[in-house]
Amino acid sequence: MLVEAMGHLWVAFSPGTGETALLNDESASILELLEGGAGTTLSISAVLAEDSGLSSASLAEAVEACWPRLIEAGLVREQRTGHVTSR
């Protein structure tokens, strides 16, 4: 997968679908964190909260809202355990 900044958005190429998707900052951050392996809304929100100083609860809402688009674009997949991974 290739993710690059393009102005105020991010562009991500999914080799799985052969398509390119435009992403917001939150989605790009999620993909960056998933490079290390599977993650959940809670685990990703906790890391983002630590980095940004924002509350984990408010970031969890933003992360949760990103999952459908990332899954639809073929950039992540949902695992049966409820975890999401970028591979």
Q: What is the pLDDT of residue 87?
A: 41
Q: What is the pLDDT of residue 32?
A: 94
What is the per-residue DSSP string for the chain?
A: -EEEEETTEEEEEETTTTEEEEE-HHHHHHHHHHTTS-B-HHHHHHHHHHHH-S-HHHHHHHHHHHHHHHHHTTS-EE-TTS-EE--
Could you tell me the residue ranges of all domains in the chain?
Answer: 25-85
Mean pLDDT by 10 residues, the chain (87 residues): 90 90 95 93 96 94 95 88 54
Residue-level length of the chain: 87
